[in-house]
Amino acid sequence: MNKPPYPHPLIAREGWPFVAGVVLISVLVSFWSGWISIPFWLLSIFVVQFFRDPGRVAPDGEFNVLSPADGRIVTVEQVRDVYADRDALKISVFMNVFNVHSNRSPVKGDVQSVTYFPGKFFNASLDKASLENERNATVLRTSHGHVVTAVQVAGLVAKRILCYTLPGQTLYAGQRYGFIRFGSRVDVYLPVGSRPRVAIGDKVSATSTVLAELPEQADVAA
């Protein structure tokens, strides 16, 4: 079993200012009125749960493709991967506001490119969100030559995509590499011939759920 390389605190570092701010306001309002402070404390609980960042352990398997996010599967289909210019199997994970929003690398591989695309903010569960919403695409190449594309997609209320990796870096499978605030999706494009291990409607967990298995022979034309 692989240990997570990222030292996961209870609360994601992206949430520290938000948690500190809402808790401080709740405390101050409590001194004024206990009843009026109740909605602020409820908001504090919501903010804390949104920015929770649990550590995860990846299952064994050198050809496993791990879920990059917590959420629900909304797409499993053959499409064109416009980011790596190839046909691909696309698996999409939709995150609602109650899911963990820390994003993890689906495979171990070298980062080939990281590209940001400005766009709209449609509901992330819609198919058109993949190519019309604001998004950030990271293309990886594994040691076996497989190309895997992970695309962070903003949603209806998600207004901030954070990506911490750069071309030339190597990511571990399950390594934390980004975060999206508030409600969104991650699309994963895999080589044709990959075997899905999930179906539409399945609930998945970042790092610990296997989305698919890569073919043992990489497509050299990818």
Strand partners, 108: none
Token digits of residue 140:
């990886």
Instruction: Report d(CA 15, CA 47) in Å as an integer.
Output: 8
Instruction: Report d(CA 36, CA 32) in Å as an integer.
Output: 8
Active site residue 67: no
Query: How would you label 13-35 residue by residue, b for 16+ Cβ within 10 Å and e otherwise?
Result: ebbeebbeebbeebeebeeeeee
Question: What one-character DSSP code corresponds to residue 146?
Answer: -
Give just the sign of the alpha carbon dihedral 166, 161, 102, 104: negative
| Residue of 44, 184, 205, 208 marked active site | 184
Phi, psi of 47 (to 5 degrees): -65, -40
- Please return the burial class of 85, using the count of CB atoms within 10 Å of its CB with bins 0-12, 13-18 and 19+: exposed
Instruction: Report d(CA 122, CA 134) in Å as an integer.
Output: 9
Catalytic residues, by residue number, are 184
